[in-house]
Amino acid sequence: MEKGEPIIRLEHVDAGYPGAVILHDVSFAVARGEIFILLGGSGCGKSTVMKHMTGLNPILAGRLTVAGREWSVQTRAELCRQIGVMYQSGALFGSMTCLENVRLPLDEFSDLSKAARRARALELLRDVELEDAADKMPSEISGGMRKRVAIARAMALDPSVVFLDEPSAGLDPITSAALDDLILRLRAEKGMTFVVVTHELPSVFKIGDRAAMFDRARHGLVALGAPQALRDTSEDPFVRKFFSRGEYHGQ
Amino acid sequence: MRGLVSLFAFLGESACCAVSALVRPREFRFGDAALAFQRAAFDGLPVTIGVGFLLGVILAFQSAAALQTFGVEVYVADLLAIALFRELGPIITAIILAGRTGSAFAAEIGTMKVDEELDALTTMGLPPVRFLVLPRVTAAAFAMPILTVFAEIAGLVGGALVLETMRVPPAAYWQHVTASSDAPMILFGLAKGLGFGLLVGLIGCAAGMQTRATADGVGHAATSAVVGSIVAIAVADGLLAVLCNIWGA
């Protein structure tokens, strides 16, 4: 698949849970190699969309394809080789060291020898500048470091797309900016596609190639495009208010 | 109704994972099971022995008071052996396991759910039931018979000490214990313990898997694990008693 081709496509998707549609008729595509932002206020459904895209929850209506194939016909094993996910808290396993956390997907799914798996996990930790923390437990490292270990784990099986759920949440501005730099570097070095759920505007403008913006009040996608373009040219009152950090209640 | 459906779905998935692990043992996480077993069995030994000992002391005192009237307090040994091996040993051990281990399973898995670790496992293609539930349930099931043996021995020792204060010779006491108990009875009690361990493990893990991401979610999961386990143990024991009565066992 060439750079720029859609790797994930949503067509007229209803997002939510059985009996509770949160977003109606959502359509967009994520191109290979881009950093795509799912943007919106708290509770607007951006994490729900991410859960659909990562295969955690089935979509309520519409069509969702990953690498050209319908999401619903792919097995979990197929999906997990195509996507990696970093959750908001990092979601590292507390009973394992950082190295073991990163090595886990390799242990389960790769045919590499034990030594090769360890070497690969160390290489991934080196990519996120945490080789020194390999033998530490998640409780012994900071929140920002946990997120970087989680990114390393998400990349373990060389997925096509890495999802990042609120990477800046709970981090100070310096750590958050360092994480943004890491995402940009990984994209530049490895050509990875990132889908980032966030509402942190500095991050959005720094790393985002395109953004899909959701509005809870209108239950849908209200803007799609480059973040700077949305900020400068959108005439949608919600989009303008959001980028000017104003209050908006869907009135 | 939805809870019942998800409980059956959980039981079905657990059964499938267990069968799959039997067919492909490599899938079973022996290290996690060993760690859970250590916490359930070895770390639980002191409290199990302590409670078993006190149970024996209390039972001996209460029954000896009545039997002393007829000068047959040595039969306390028979009463203790039958009660501990058939019923009280497995039940009291299962209740302790529910309080210690079942609640811990629910809290561990519940916290992992709140921290999105279960979602992380799922998106990595690792079923949480295989990864988290199977090792814990196996550990609880195999810990129970071991803990039960220790509780029963401690109870009998407690009874022996009480009867010694009533001038019943230890030799006579142990003779009555061995005379009134046989291998099938002891094995039946241990098998019951294994079943109760399965129940405690499954209910604890199910409560953890159904934890809600709220402030009191994990606490609620731990509570429902203990309460659910105790109710299930009582119901299962009652059913077994009825079945044994029907079969004349």
* Residue A251: pLDDT band with limits 50, 70, 90: very low
User: What is the percent of chain B with per-residue pLDDT over 70, rounded to a whole number?
Assistant: 98
pLDDT digits (tens, 9 = 90+) for B122-168: 888 888 999 999 999 999 999 999 999 999 999 999 999 999 998 88
- What sign has the CA pseudo-torsion B16, B22, B24, B28? positive
Q: Higher pLDDT residue, B43 or A95?
A: B43
Identify the contact set of chain A against chain B, taking CB-CB distances under 8 A: 51, 54-56, 76-77, 79-81, 83-85, 87-89, 91-93, 95, 104-105, 108-109, 150, 153, 165
Tell me if residue A26 falls in helix, strand or coil: strand
Average pLDDT, chain B: 92
**Rg of chain B taking only CA atoms, in angstroms:** 20
Length of chain A: 251
Longest dimension (CA), chain B: 70
Residue B57 forms part of a structural domain: yes
- Please, are residues B148 and B89 in contact by the beta-carbon 8 Å criterion? yes
> Residue B106: inside a domain, yes or no?
yes
Q: Residue B66: what pLDDT?
A: 87
Q: Does a structural domain hold residue B95? A: yes
For chain B, the 3-state helix, strand and coil shares in percent, each to the nearest 5, are 90, 0, 10
CB–CB of A92/A111 below 8 Å?
A: no
β-bridge pairing A83-86 and A210-215: unpaired
Q: Is A117's pLDDT higher than 50?
A: yes
Tokens read off for A159: 């997925």
Q: Of B117, B114, B135, which is closest to residue B40 (Cα–Cα)?
A: B135
Query: Residue B28: helix, strand or coil by DSSP?
Result: coil
- Shortest distance, CA A54 to any CA of chain B (angstroms): 7
pLDDT at A178: 86
Question: Is the pLDDT reported for residue A247 higher than 50?
Answer: no
Residue A250 has pLDDT above 50, yes or no: no
pLDDT at A235 over 50: yes
pLDDT in tens, A13-55: 999 998 889 999 999 999 999 999 999 888 888 989 999 999 8
Residues 6+ apart with CB under 8 A from B221: B106, B107, B109, B110, B207, B208, B210, B211
pLDDT at B226: 97
The pLDDT > 70 percentage for chain A reads 96
Q: pLDDT tens digit string along A167-176?
A: 888 788 888 8
The secondary structure of residue A41, as a DSSP letter, is S
Identify the structural domains of chain A with CATH numbers, from first to last.
6-92+161-243 (3.40.50.300)
What are B31-71's pLDDT values in tens digits?
889 999 999 999 999 999 999 999 999 999 999 988 888 88
Q: Are strands A161-165 and A193-198 parallel, antiparallel or unpaired?
A: parallel
CB contact at 8 A, A79 and A163: no
Residue that wins the pLDDT comparison between B128 and A248: B128
> pLDDT digits over B215-231, tens only?
889 999 999 999 999 99
Residue B230 lies in a domain: yes
Is B145 inside any structural domain? yes
The first and second tokens of residue B248, run together, are 């004349």
Cα A202 from Cα A208, distance rounded (Å): 10
Is residue B21 situated within a structural domain? no
pLDDT score of A140 more than 90: yes
Residues of B in contact with A97 (CB under 8 A): none
Contact A89 B35 (CB under 8 A): no
Domain that holds residue B231: 44-247
CB contact under 8 A, B123 and A89: no
| A76 touches A55 (CB < 8 A) | yes
Helices then strands, each counted (H, E), chain B: 12, 0
DSSP letters along A206-246, please?
A: HH-SEEEEEETTTTEEEEEE-HHHHHHH---HHHHHHHTT-
d(CA B244, CA B231): 20
Beta bridge partners of A21: A16
In a domain, B141, yes or no: yes
On whether residue B101 sits in a domain, the answer given is: yes
pLDDT, tens digit, 9 for 90 and up, residues A53-85: 998 889 999 999 988 888 877 777 777 788 899
In chain B, the number of structural domains is: 1
Per DSSP, the three-state class of B110 is helix
Please, which residues bridge with residue A86 across strands? A164
| Distance from the B114 Cα atom to the nearest Cα atom in chain A, whole angstroms | 9
